[in-house]
Chain A
Amino acid sequence: MESPKTEEEKLQMFFDGELAPEEEASVRRSLEGSPEAAAQLREWEQLRAAMKSVATDWAGEIDSDALFARIENEISAPAVPIERLKLEQPALRVVPGGRERRVWGGVATGFAAAAAILLAVMAWPEPHLDPAPIVRGSQVLEADFGSNTGTIFEVEGGAGQSLAVIWIDDEEVGLP
């Protein structure tokens, strides 16, 4: 039996466009009365935009130091002023620390995975990354038989490779 979705799960599914139309409309209505939820959505949107920007840049030449510095700057940049800030702040506010930790835990996990992949690629021994197959055998590029008649063909070597054979008929010559 499927457990009912928490508000946070609904918000995330709304952010990902995974909600059914009815639920999406419901969340959209609830957002109008929940500045905190709206603010959360904006933060996620900022993060997504930052990561998309980074991913696009990586198609070109990669400078890992500059890239990570840029990502950190994007993330730590102050959020765009949101409606919540305009509201009167309560003296005490319950901070949803668990949710924030999970979100930032995701960011950290993503970067850790990227760093691990980068390190693995850089540390991997070269022969294992060699995509080009080793070409075996021998082949004739050009042959001039002169006044003789000849044939070029191939025989199979011990490893299955093709070995070139040039067969030229001639009359026996005497020792000089």
Chain B
Amino acid sequence: MSLIRHFLVIAVMLGAAVASPASAQGSSLARSDRASTISSVPAEVIVVLAKEEPGKIDPQLAKMTALRRPPFNSFRSMKVLSRPKLKLTLGKDALVSLPNGRRMKLTLLRVMPDGRYKVKAAINRPNKSDYLPLLQVIASAGDPFFVAGQTYQGGTLIVGVIVDPKKTAQ
């Protein structure tokens, strides 16, 4: 019947009007609220010594497929030197000692509304600005960023930083 069709069409329009904007807004607000309540997050730093000489690839790197892609695949041996775990707190520096005497300083700057983390990093000798004075990165949980290029013991250091490694570690 035509009249029934009128009512059904109106009912569907009303439902759609309620569903789309209200639910989307509520969901994004909920995520934003969660982000605003986070003040610290776990992190992991993986320090890898990579060399072009043939050798073994450390089994600990089996899941880190990015290190098997260019330009990292030019290295034929990789060894995990250290894998310190730390907690990043908003606005507070966390220090990680590197094998070449430099120190990596990591600071959680902000948790973005979409859940990603804004992190500041620096790698220098104590009281120096000799290597990487400043780096700002946005990373999603479990997805690393890498700082590579420091020469050490005939190889190259690759430093991977994973924020919130308990989530989707790659």
Prevailing SS type, chain B contact patch: mixed
Prevailing SS type, chain A contact patch: mixed
Say whether B131 contacts A166, CB under 8 Å: no
CB contacts (< 8 Å) of B132 on chain A: these are 143-146, 148, 150, 166, 168
Known A-B contacts A138-B137, A166-B135, A172-B152; A146 and B27 likewise in contact (beta carbons under 8 Å): no
Chain B interface, number of residues (Cβ within 8 angstroms): 66
Chain A minimum-CB-distance residue to B150: A170
Contact of B151 among A12, A16, A170 (CB under 8 A): A170
- Residue in B14, B64, B114 with the greatest tally of chain A CB atoms within 10 Å: B14
Contact of B19 among A51, A117, A135, A139 (CB under 8 A): A117
Say whether B4 contacts A109, CB under 8 Å: yes
In the complex, besides A136-B168, A144-B132, A157-B143, 17 extra interface pairs with C-beta distance below 8 angstroms are A12-B3, A117-B18, A121-B15, A121-B18, A126-B27, A132-B114, A136-B143, A142-B135, A155-B69, A157-B65, A163-B144, A165-B148, A167-B71, A168-B147, A172-B151, A173-B100, A173-B130
Which residues of A does B touch, CB under 8 Å? 12-13, 15-16, 18, 44, 47-48, 51, 54-55, 58-59, 62, 102-103, 105-107, 109-111, 113-114, 117-118, 120-121, 124, 126-127, 129-132, 134-148, 150, 155-159, 161, 163-176
